Amino acid sequence: MNLNDHFDAISFSGCGTLNFYQCGVAYALQQYGLPQSMHYAGASAGAGLGVLLAQGSDAQEIASVAIDILKPHAHANILYRSDVLLEFANRFLGHFLSEETLPIIGHRVSVSITRAPSIKNLMVNEFHDLNDLSAAVRASCHIPSRRVRTIRFRQMRCMDGGFSNNSPVLTPRTLRVSPFFFDARADVFPSPKVTPWWAIKVPPVEKAWALFEEGEKDAAALMQKIKNEGYAVPTKSVDGGPNATQGTRFPMQTVLQSHKEARSS
């Protein structure tokens, strides 16, 4: 099955450490052969995943490296542990990115960044060098804290791309991936048993792999539906186009409520 016959871009949502679900989705798609021409878009953790897939990194290895880095911080709340995110970004990007990255990805990756204080969205798909690419991903992933509210990218004050456009749409044939069960506009999303609070709470090793397997299962089910039943991925309004809806934002209120309920149960 040629995936380009069904969609020409993949959008990964900003989702913190729920990104293990999206890694599982990516792994299933890789089993069907992701074309070299595929475009990727994403916010926050989803942006980082898109960059690595565009350069041809194996999704299972991406998840494995992330799990190894985060293992000592299991159950940490990343909203209050900016040091965990900083350590993760430094080690993770350092492991995967190389001088060969930019020539490989070309202009096939769009990174969603939020400008401050306007909360206007900035989509970046051209990068000056490897440092510029790394800075774009860091800006897209930056959760404001009391100590560091914004991060500089190209002399602009920026923060997490999910605050302005959490699930960017590049073309009408974009496949949208989200790890939030209530995101009905996504093409691949989990059942309610994948709870939203794992977006801000670092999952232990077993849970991280369980999230990966859920994503793999859901994506494989969609691929079989396309292959066996002729299912067509719904077309979408392009962000910024005449019929586009406002960019979806990271569902922070829902995630926090889910976390609160989990702690009180």
H or E element, residue 95 = helix 82-96
Which token pair is 112? 């969603």
Q: What is the pLDDT of residue 256?
A: 67
Q: What is the pLDDT of residue 251?
A: 73
**Count of C-beta atoms within a 10 Å radius of residue 254:** 15
pLDDT in tens for each of the 265 residues of the chain? 888 899 999 999 999 999 999 999 999 999 999 998 999 999 999 999 999 999 999 999 999 999 999 999 999 999 888 788 878 888 999 999 999 999 999 999 999 999 999 999 999 999 999 999 999 999 999 998 878 889 999 999 999 999 999 999 999 999 999 999 999 889 999 999 999 999 999 999 999 999 999 999 999 999 999 988 889 999 998 875 433 334 577 776 676 676 566 666 5
Three-point CA angle 18, 26, 132, nearest 5°: 80
Residue that is written with structure tokens 């926050």 in the block: 44
Residue 11 bridge partners (DSSP): 41, 176
Domain boundaries, the chain: 3-264
Which token pair is 261? 């309920």
Q: What is the pLDDT of residue 243?
A: 38
**Gyration radius of the chain over CA positions:** 17
Say if CB 53 and CB 26 are below 8 A apart. Answer: yes
> Mind spelling out the 3-state secondary structure of 54-67?
HCCCCHHHHHHHHH
Q: What is the pLDDT of residue 229?
A: 86
